[in-house]
Structure 1
């Protein structure tokens, strides 16, 4: 699913730390990311997506058997792209031969469905056909499928559909509708047929794509979603025809935003992208349990249960849905460490389902230093990831009066004391967090929660504020994406293109902040660049500091110094790149850490 040669789908590779506006536009087009829609008009059709908020993605195919190793050589990157010339460049005849050895004898549909249920997920989306053109079901439209080209005798998609239905999970398919690397006429595929005649995209669409989409939407019972991917330059008429098929065969199913041409039902963000600000409308973030989507033998960089919960709650608190991928091995088994993390985070969700399901976005519109907030009616749920060691948790800018607050611990709930200081609310907490992963405070309000989204400097824990929240003058604020490994996407909104020379001090990224406890705060900047850079940070009408630090092409935190806020209240703080290789400076965030002197 993606736009460049990267995650589930990509097409163009960006060099590390470089993404021009033109490239970003091309990526958005490939991913179909321009889709922005409000919640589905048909509440029943969109309800599972909008209220479930958590789903399982599965990337599984011939590439899973290769596991990123071909002829004794390991290729580092996303496994489902192993055939592509940007990785191993496996010729089509050889790739077809590999299908004959693809025999997933350990595939257990019920075990996978049970894992999703144990994880707290509400539906499963699995690759019916990825860019390699190999269908993971018994397709009558094309013989390059798991039933005809592989020794396995079962249709794993039928088994998984049945298992999901039995366990009360939704079920749906991923289908690469534009790219097909093995069928003549498919995007990035052969340009001639077996007889040497020129092949067109229409040949691929009429002979394979359209018939297969008809199959997956009519032969596997009710499905909740069809996840098309990387539309690229696919003409609108073809996308419309596929969407019409889904509407006819599965009227209750959603269509992913990556169908293209604004014909999807919701927006799908970039691969591995979890937003920092609330996003309007119906949307999802797609992520994976390690670094690759398809199984890679070496990839043991698993997300911990806490990291899974952090990213899930961040998506829900921003108003969206989180779909998290697993990549089964070639034999069909699920890597054990991925399963352990999913089940552990799922146990937490069972204890606190009200935090995740059927909730609304945070009224702060961004995370808070200690965690995040989800909303249900007149209740707020504070998910505390950073337990304050001083026993005081601060909530800035809440404008709705509180009736009561309770600290939840599974089935137990203990009232906690709170008071106010100006626009801030302070909760008194026990010394130790009651939950090992994430502790939850339930706040009951007198009405719908409303909050001032101005960033507050927390007096207990560090407050990191992203550059995307800054007001920028005489510099450029823009989105950048890059890959640390092939297909492993990183996303940031940076402030860059700083002025030089005599104009250097005119370039500013500024944030309005609210201080409840005056005093000294350590200031760090997270930035990338080349060589030495001099940065300045100043309080409007107050203290200013500057420091020279080294730079790296990878974002790192660098200390700048201490700033003093002499009294409680509102301040404007700005950061500027003043000297050195200014043209390379890319600011990601600013962090304020309270200095405790006693």
Structure 2
């Protein structure tokens, strides 16, 4: 997978290719792609849920080399972490990659049971070894690793996977690395891991031919190719660095229905391919105007790591899954089998648990589009065909959910129990739906609301939490202004950071929330922000008759912190107001912007 910072650190990429620095354009301008996009993407937009499989020679190492465990969270990078030249790397791991427990049909059955509609498997990763039987001369025999094909004699592991998944009616695609740490004519093959005593100068045109030849094999030798999932590019090597125009010109002829992701080009959110590919993070507002897919892991690593036991819970995984779909994306959930082809038991259990939920609730996933709401305190929403699907993760204390919707809800019910209508009431804040008190199923519960036409959304009101707090988050904030203020979210290298209000560089910009006061009293005001040694400023917060200002000082920090800024007095009279507007303004900005602000909490003083 893509680790830009690590590559810069390791010096894996050179800066030689001038053609790659030219402005990239969608599909390198090749005809046939843009014109057929909607028809090619139809199944992908319906699917919403797929399986990612990272399986290769690195799987046999399991995240360790010569007895040393490497804690880095991408075990498929073990060759780079341990700085092993390709020759000894191959000599040690080829005998260990036996695939002796591999059962392609069992993998396909597990994916089908989980409710997945497609699979993407690593046909080859960055070390240059492939689980498909390439007939390229370098793959068949070379002086560095002997050869790049690692399927056991008489077998083609990639072909077995494709055949088994298609037999279940699932789509099948190939992950294919554009990097190659062993090929002497690649951009990085002789620059870091492998010695070059003769001073050989790589011929990148030879490498482009090699890439073309292998993509041609994947497209033509396996009964079809539903997705070509590339990885990866950089500012210095993208587009024509890989011979992209030639590949795309012929690929659309070989496979007219194929989907290609955006990693022929730099940037996980670039729009030059069919789909954007955020890695281990969900864009705060999705990626409007394009198709996209979040790839995520069950633990930390994509490739198998024997010591990576940081498994995500069912609840955590479902929140990532539903949030992605609610923002209009697909969710590509990864498994990393070991060198024998066994999927870890905890991964199997998680997939089976998801499958149980999907059996009841898949209607709220397949073919849905993004939520019409900016944010919902209790969960997420998807929609299609006159129906809103409310995924309730956190049941409010009063047993009902508030929905900022002006449209009439003709009927509401628990998905799977359409004959039992739920009570609906309306207010100035929208609609209130009483949740079933006897729900015994897996969370999140899914409530269906039937409406007519396009949902008419009203400004969401922030309600009091169970513990009395009022939390104004970046997710449910209204950002006002044209100075560049925006939501900044998690990244591949910091997937757990909260969304925050960032790039606030103009005092004319401001932030607002509508707050429904439900409890009078004294509240501490706590700001959660990210300190920065070159960013500071003074902010003001007002709510009703209350107002305070606070200076966010320039200090070094790498984590969001809480700071208490003062108190507000909320009167009994405020309870009668439909809503109060909370306004956050910048009185002073020092540096290029204010520090990022994740949330402001009003905490009741007892």
TM-score per shorter chain, which class?
A: 0.7 to 0.9
1:495 aligned onto 2:496 = no
Aligned-partner SS, 1:45: helix
1:422 aligned onto 2:428 = yes
1:317 aligned onto 2:333 = no
1:349 maps to which of 333, 358, 381: 358
What is the CA–CA distance in structure 2 between the aligned matches of 1:111 and 1:362, rounded to whole Å? 35
What is the CA–CA distance in structure 1 between the aligned matches of 2:94 and 2:498, rounded to whole Å? 39
2:56 maps to which of 35, 52, 61: 61
Residue 95 of structure 1 and its aligned partner are, at CA, apart by: 1.7
Q: Could you list the per-position Cα deviations for residues 97-140 of structure 1 after superposition, in whole angstroms to 9, with x for gaps in the alignment?
A: 13432212111111111121111110000111111111111111
1:299 aligned onto 2:308 = yes
Are the aligned partners of 2:472 and 2:513 in contact in 1 as well (CA < 8 Å)? no
2:400 maps to which of 375, 389, 392: 392
1:569 aligned onto 2:576 = no
Q: Could you list the per-position Cα deviations for residues 538-570 of structure 1 after superposition, in whole angstroms to 9, with x for gaps in the alignment?
A: 126631246799995222455556543822235
Q: Against the structure 1 CA distance between its residues 583 and 226, is the aligned structure 2 distance closer, same or farther, given a 3 Å change threshold?
A: closer
Residue 238 of structure 1 and its aligned partner are, at CA, apart by: 1.1
Q: Could you list the per-position Cα deviations for residues 355-396 of structure 1 after superposition, in whole angstroms to 9, with x for gaps in the alignment?
A: 1001121111x3311011111111111110001121231112
Are the aligned partners of 1:536 and 1:576 in contact in 2 as well (CA < 8 Å)? yes
What is the CA–CA distance in structure 2 between the aligned matches of 1:272 and 1:522, rounded to whole Å? 34
1:52 maps to which of 27, 47, 54: 47
Residue 348 of structure 1 and its aligned partner are, at CA, apart by: 0.6
1:247 aligned onto 2:252 = yes
Residue 163 of structure 1 and its aligned partner are, at CA, apart by: 0.7
Are the aligned partners of 1:213 and 1:245 in contact in 2 as well (CA < 8 Å)? no
2:84 maps to which of 66, 90, 102: 90
Q: Against the structure 1 CA distance between its residues 475 and 444, is the aligned structure 2 distance closer, same or farther, given a 3 Å change threshold?
A: closer
Select between 377-386 and 188-197 the one with higher mean Cα deviation. Answer: 188-197
Q: Could you list the per-position Cα deviations for residues 156-185 of structure 1 after superposition, in whole angstroms to 9, with x for gaps in the alignment?
A: 1111111111111110101112x1111022
Are the aligned partners of 1:525 and 1:587 in contact in 2 as well (CA < 8 Å)? no
Select between 295-304 and 350-359 the one with higher mean Cα deviation. Answer: 295-304
1:403 aligned onto 2:410 = yes
Q: Which residue of 2 aligns with 1:202?
A: 205
Q: Which residue of 2 aligns with 1:441?
A: 447
Q: Could you list the per-position Cα deviations for residues 505-544 of structure 1 after superposition, in whole angstroms to 9, with x for gaps in the alignment?
A: x597522425375746765433222799998551266312
What is the CA–CA distance in structure 1 between the aligned matches of 2:423 and 2:343, rounded to whole Å? 45
Q: Against the structure 1 CA distance between its residues 343 and 548, is the aligned structure 2 distance closer, same or farther, given a 3 Å change threshold?
A: farther
1:372 aligned onto 2:380 = yes
Q: Against the structure 1 CA distance between its residues 407 and 479, is the aligned structure 2 distance closer, same or farther, given a 3 Å change threshold?
A: closer
Aligned-partner SS, 1:56: strand
Aligned-partner SS, 2:252: helix
Aligned-partner SS, 2:325: helix
Residue 470 of structure 1 and its aligned partner are, at CA, apart by: 3.2
What is the CA–CA distance in structure 2 between the aligned matches of 1:445 and 1:543, rounded to whole Å? 39
Residue 57 of structure 1 and its aligned partner are, at CA, apart by: 0.8
Are the aligned partners of 1:527 and 1:585 in contact in 2 as well (CA < 8 Å)? no
What is the CA–CA distance in structure 2 between the aligned matches of 1:347 and 1:146, rounded to whole Å? 43
Are the aligned partners of 2:114 and 2:353 in contact in 1 as well (CA < 8 Å)? yes
Are the aligned partners of 1:113 and 1:167 in contact in 2 as well (CA < 8 Å)? yes
Residue 295 of structure 1 and its aligned partner are, at CA, apart by: 1.3
Select between 52-61 and 148-157 the one with higher mean Cα deviation. Answer: 148-157
Q: Which residue of 2 aligns with 1:75?
A: 70
Residue 343 of structure 1 and its aligned partner are, at CA, apart by: 1.4
2:8 maps to which of 3, 7, 12: 12
Are the aligned partners of 2:473 and 2:599 in contact in 1 as well (CA < 8 Å)? yes
What is the CA–CA distance in structure 1 between the aligned matches of 2:171 and 2:532, rounded to whole Å? 49
Residue 200 of structure 1 and its aligned partner are, at CA, apart by: 2.3
What is the CA–CA distance in structure 1 between the aligned matches of 2:202 and 2:67, rounded to whole Å? 34
Gaps in structure 1 of 5+ consecutive residues: 15-25, 33-37, 500-505
What is the CA–CA distance in structure 1 between the aligned matches of 2:107 and 2:359, rounded to whole Å? 18
Residue 443 of structure 1 and its aligned partner are, at CA, apart by: 0.6
Q: Against the structure 1 CA distance between its residues 596 and 350, is the aligned structure 2 distance closer, same or farther, given a 3 Å change threshold?
A: farther
Are the aligned partners of 2:527 and 2:601 in contact in 1 as well (CA < 8 Å)? no
Are the aligned partners of 1:457 and 1:463 in contact in 2 as well (CA < 8 Å)? yes
Q: Which residue of 2 aligns with 1:465?
A: 473
Q: Against the structure 1 CA distance between its residues 129 and 484, is the aligned structure 2 distance closer, same or farther, given a 3 Å change threshold?
A: closer
What is the CA–CA distance in structure 2 between the aligned matches of 1:392 and 1:519, rounded to whole Å? 22
Q: Which residue of 2 aligns with 1:186?
A: 186
Gaps in structure 2 of 5+ consecutive residues: 11-20, 28-32
Select between 373-382 and 101-110 the one with higher mean Cα deviation. Answer: 101-110
Q: Which residue of 1 aligns with 2:530?
A: 528
Q: Against the structure 1 CA distance between its residues 544 and 249, is the aligned structure 2 distance closer, same or farther, given a 3 Å change threshold?
A: same
1:217-228 equivalences under 5 Å are 217-228=219-230
Are the aligned partners of 1:475 and 1:496 in contact in 2 as well (CA < 8 Å)? yes
| Residues paired across the two proteins, number | 558
Q: Which has the higher contact order (CA 8 A, sep 6+)?
A: 1
Aligned-partner SS, 1:437: coil
Are the aligned partners of 2:529 and 2:599 in contact in 1 as well (CA < 8 Å)? no
Q: Could you list the per-position Cα deviations for residues 430-461 of structure 1 after superposition, in whole angstroms to 9, with x for gaps in the alignment?
A: 44644332111111113222313x34202456
Select between 367-376 and 507-516 the one with higher mean Cα deviation. Answer: 507-516
Normalised by the size of structure 1, how large is the TM-score?
0.82
Q: Which residue of 2 aligns with 1:502?
A: none
Which structure has greater strand proportion?
Answer: 1
What is the CA–CA distance in structure 2 between the aligned matches of 1:51 and 1:150, rounded to whole Å? 33
1:28-39 equivalences under 5 Å are none
Residue 280 of structure 1 and its aligned partner are, at CA, apart by: 2.5
After superposition, the CA RMSD in angstroms is 3.8
What is the CA–CA distance in structure 2 between the aligned matches of 1:345 and 1:522, rounded to whole Å? 40
